[in-house]
Amino acid sequence: MATFYLLTDCHYVSKKNWVEGRPITLRERGDQICLKLSPEILDTFIEKIIEDKETDTVLFSGDNVNSGDMTSHYEFRERLEKLRAAGKKVYIISATHDYCSCNGEDECFQKGSVRYTETGTEPVEVMPRSGLYEFYRDYGPAQADSVDSESGSYSIKLKDGVRLIAIVDNGNGRSHCGLFEEGVRWLTAQIKSAKEAGEYVILMTHHPVISPWDVYAHMVDYEMYGGYRKLSELMCEEGVNVIFTGHTHVQNIRKYTGKNGNSFYDVSTVSLVNASGKMRKVNVDTEKGVCDVSSVGLDKINGVDTGGLSAYDYLYGINFTGLLERTFPLIASDYDSFLEHTEGFLPVDKLKKNRFIVKFAAGKLKKMKLSTLAKFGKSKKSLTKEQLSYARNTLVIDVAFEILRHIFTGNAPYTPDTVENIVLSSVASRADRIVSKFKISAIQKLIPPGSSLNIMAQDFLYNNRTGDDDNISIEIG
């Protein structure tokens, strides 16, 4: 039995890199992860891992720090050392947030990193891509049986019969986040030799190999693992059944079936510093040939006074998703305060100019019931008496915020038998008809071939993937 924890997208930010003030607050509001409390959140997870005496291995799958600065890297590495001092084996890979493009050596989107002062920002020392390998050599490559010299990817025995192949897919930055030809050959050879030795193979990389939602790969194909189609087929050909990924910050488990009929799962994990951040706990049972995946979140954050709130409730109001929900009522009651709280992620100047239109629209939206949408989607007749009464008593805005809450957490609650799903699907279908009739190209562009707004909407209404984004038992061969 091999057991490990997997943490991804820790986006660690050193406390030395900011002082309290507008610059860091606005930066954090515009994101969907908690930057200021990233050290406390990571430390609380680490405490949990250390308390678990039965799990001896910890994996980190990239975007370990938020913006490639050296101070955060040193502090992050101290955390890895703490885990090692507690007897854990630690294996990590890096990704694009872990370095900055220096001297034009690559095209990483991060050109530099900053410290947030009270009034602005100032540059800080950064990690070049070429420095990552040596800096983290002791956490994977140094213990590996084989290392791909081009990418720094490595192959390591987790336990007898279980092999981890960690694929460093920081590529050359933005346009290609995968392995190059030489790396693909190395990976193929590693999988083949592990299989020949009778080992179960577990893969880990940063970028998604299966798109979490159809619209994701369609709109931002470059955010996928570079060469994901090829890797998907390779996994099916070689009988590799699971890969762990991050990057999307989305808790999402999806299955792919290849041309030869074999399947694998991409287990994508939510960012550790999302309000609903979780780590995966994985058991690979070599006797049964099963890989069990579960998820562990936080109830409290060590060293943080949440005023009696759960960690989730405390953190949810920090970023734009939660702030939007919390500040929406202010549009009616205190518009200036609404603008103050949403600066950093909403166009405050435009909202100031259009105060009356926004207040009017928000007032309408606030009162709108699901039954109004049922009328638009022409689904009223398909609802039972009870369902219609439910629709008349359910606010659209509450449903919208509930969907928003599950974007990163997975497991949205609106299965096809719910009133919400029936009504929203009918609205999406009507929108499909309108878009097709009037050939609205701006929306047609968003729809993947063979899909529709209704099909796309299902990804966000309920778990139409495996039924549970937090837990799965995968047969491995």
Length of the chain: 477
Nearer to Fe ion, 171 or 377 (CB): 171
Q: Provide the minimum distance between the beta carbon of 226 and Fe ion in the complex, in angstroms, as a whole number.
A: 13
- 249-250-253 Cα angle (round to 5): 135
Q: Provide the minimum distance between the beta carbon of 220 and Fe ion in the complex, in angstroms, as a whole number.
A: 12
Q: Which stretches does DSSP call E strand in 8-145?
A: 57-61, 89-93, 113-116, 121-124
Beta-ladder partners of 323: none
Beta-ladder partners of 413: 462
28 lies in the binding site for Fe ion (CB under 5 A): no
Q: Provide the minimum distance between the beta carbon of 47 and Fe ion in the complex, in angstroms, as a whole number.
A: 23
Nearer to Fe ion, 177 or 453 (CB): 177
Task: Read off the tokens for 124.
Answer: 């800080």
Q: Provide the minimum distance between the beta carbon of 110 and Fe ion in the complex, in angstroms, as a whole number.
A: 11
Q: Provide the minimum distance between the beta carbon of 429 and Fe ion in the complex, in angstroms, as a whole number.
A: 34
Task: Read off the tokens for 475.
Answer: 């047969």
Q: Provide the minimum distance between the beta carbon of 405 and Fe ion in the complex, in angstroms, as a whole number.
A: 19
| Segment contacting Fe ion by CB under 5 A, of 6-14, 152-160, 166-174, 398-406 | 6-14
Q: What is the pattern of x (binds Fe ion, CB under 5 A) and - over residues 235-254?
A: ------------x-------
* Candidate list 63, 69, 169, 432; residue touching Fe ion; CB under 5 A: 63
Residue nearest to Fe ion as judged by C-beta position:
63
Nearer to Fe ion, 57 or 94 (CB): 94
CA distances (Å), 370 to each of 145, 328, 358, 418, in order?
Answer: 58, 18, 21, 12
234: Cβ–Cβ under 8 A, 6 or more apart, which residues? 187, 188, 191, 240
Beta-ladder partners of 58: 5, 90
* Candidate list 4, 9, 276, 455; residue touching Fe ion; CB under 5 A: 9
Q: Provide the minimum distance between the beta carbon of 62 and Fe ion in the complex, in angstroms, as a whole number.
A: 6
Task: Read off the tokens for 51.
Answer: 């308390």
Per the CB < 8 A criterion, the answer to whether 462 and 415 are in contact is yes
Q: Provide the minimum distance between the beta carbon of 231 and Fe ion in the complex, in angstroms, as a whole number.
A: 17
CA-CA distance, 413 to 389, in Å (whole number)? Answer: 20
Q: Provide the minimum distance between the beta carbon of 91 and Fe ion in the complex, in angstroms, as a whole number.
A: 18
Residues 68-107 that bind Fe ion (CB under 5 A): 95
Residues 326-385 that bind Fe ion (CB under 5 A): none
Q: Provide the minimum distance between the beta carbon of 147 and Fe ion in the complex, in angstroms, as a whole number.
A: 22
| Segment contacting Fe ion by CB under 5 A, of 3-11, 226-234, 320-328, 337-345 | 3-11
| Segment contacting Fe ion by CB under 5 A, of 9-17, 22-30, 108-116, 309-317 | 9-17
Number of residues that bind Fe ion (CB under 5 A): 4
Distinct helix (H) and strand (E) counts, the chain: 19, 15
Nearer to Fe ion, 131 or 173 (CB): 173
Nearer to Fe ion, 65 or 362 (CB): 65
- 367-369-370 Cα angle (round to 5): 155
| Segment contacting Fe ion by CB under 5 A, of 4-12, 218-226, 337-345, 396-404 | 4-12
Q: Provide the minimum distance between the beta carbon of 450 and Fe ion in the complex, in angstroms, as a whole number.
A: 28
| Segment contacting Fe ion by CB under 5 A, of 8-16, 281-289, 354-362, 395-403 | 8-16
Per the CB < 8 A criterion, the answer to whether 284 and 242 are in contact is no
101: Cβ–Cβ under 8 A, 6 or more apart, which residues? 107, 108, 109, 110, 111, 129, 173
Q: Give the residue from 50, 85, 52, 46 showing the smallest Cα distance to 64.
A: 46
Per the CB < 8 A criterion, the answer to whether 75 and 12 are in contact is yes
Nearer to Fe ion, 3 or 8 (CB): 8
Nearer to Fe ion, 35 or 201 (CB): 35
Nearer to Fe ion, 9 or 420 (CB): 9
Q: Provide the minimum distance between the beta carbon of 411 and Fe ion in the complex, in angstroms, as a whole number.
A: 20
C-alpha gyration radius of the chain: 23
DSSP class per residue in 36-70: TTHHHHHHHHHHHHHH-TT--EEEEES--BSS-BH
CA-CA distance, 439 to 150, in Å (whole number)? Answer: 47
Dihedral sign (CA 401, 403, 406, 407): negative
Residue 46 identity (one-letter amino acid): I
| Segment contacting Fe ion by CB under 5 A, of 58-66, 214-222, 317-325, 332-340 | 58-66
Q: Give the residue from 197, 198, 188 showing the smallest Cα distance to 477.
A: 198
Nearer to Fe ion, 213 or 414 (CB): 213
Nearer to Fe ion, 178 or 377 (CB): 178
| Segment contacting Fe ion by CB under 5 A, of 62-70, 107-115, 276-284, 316-324 | 62-70
Nearer to Fe ion, 97 or 341 (CB): 97
Q: Provide the minimum distance between the beta carbon of 106 and Fe ion in the complex, in angstroms, as a whole number.
A: 15
Nearer to Fe ion, 79 or 247 (CB): 247
Per the CB < 8 A criterion, the answer to whether 28 and 318 are in contact is yes
Nearer to Fe ion, 31 or 40 (CB): 31
Task: Read off the tokens for 23.
Answer: 């610059």
By CB under 5 A, name the binding residues for Fe ion: 9, 63, 95, 247
